[in-house]
Amino acid sequence: MNASPNDRFIAPIPTPLGRFLAVVDGGGALVALDFDERTSAFRGLSPDERRARKVIDQVQRYFAGELYEFQLALAPEGTPFQLRVWQELRRIPYGETISYQELARRVGDPKSMRAVGRANGANPIAVVVPCHRVIGADGSLTGYGGGLERKRALLALEARYSGKPVQLALT
């Protein structure tokens, strides 16, 4: 089936944290990765696992501890500021965390912590664009679209396979 880059397709991805829903465009670029296919705004789109094969394979390899850096074409939709924040998130190494304050500094505006937090929370491509690697300045886990238990599990997975212990505050 021929598809335009504006077409959207979905594919479920089984993971240890539940079934995710990958949303890809007509060329296979990842548009979104949702945590819960049952509540995803994209769940009514046409399924196409063939177009999403690379995404499925890499997400499953990530959860198996075999992949530390995703090599996927991405097509997130957001404001120019959000896109800048999401690009910066991709620079946080596997198994490491930074604070919102540090993320704001890296984006070029150290006083924009709240705006950076909102952009981080609006990230449509969970795990691949690793917003889970951003924590509070005091080491505390802070908001996460997939829930704090998933954030904790993702950080623990990366700590286990990277050998880098994640330092979190006891809350």
Query: In this structure, how many other beta carbons lie within 10 angstroms of the beta carbon of residue 148?
Result: 14
User: Whole-angstrom Cα distance, residue 146 to residue 148?
Assistant: 7
Three-state secondary-structure class, residue 152: helix
Which is nearest to 106 in space by CA: 126, 124, 125, 86? 86
Q: Amino acid letter at 74?
A: L
**153 is an active site residue:** no
* Contact by Cβ (8 Å): 63, 157: yes
Active-site residue (options: 131, 154, 157, 168): 131
Q: Which residues are designated catalytic?
A: 131
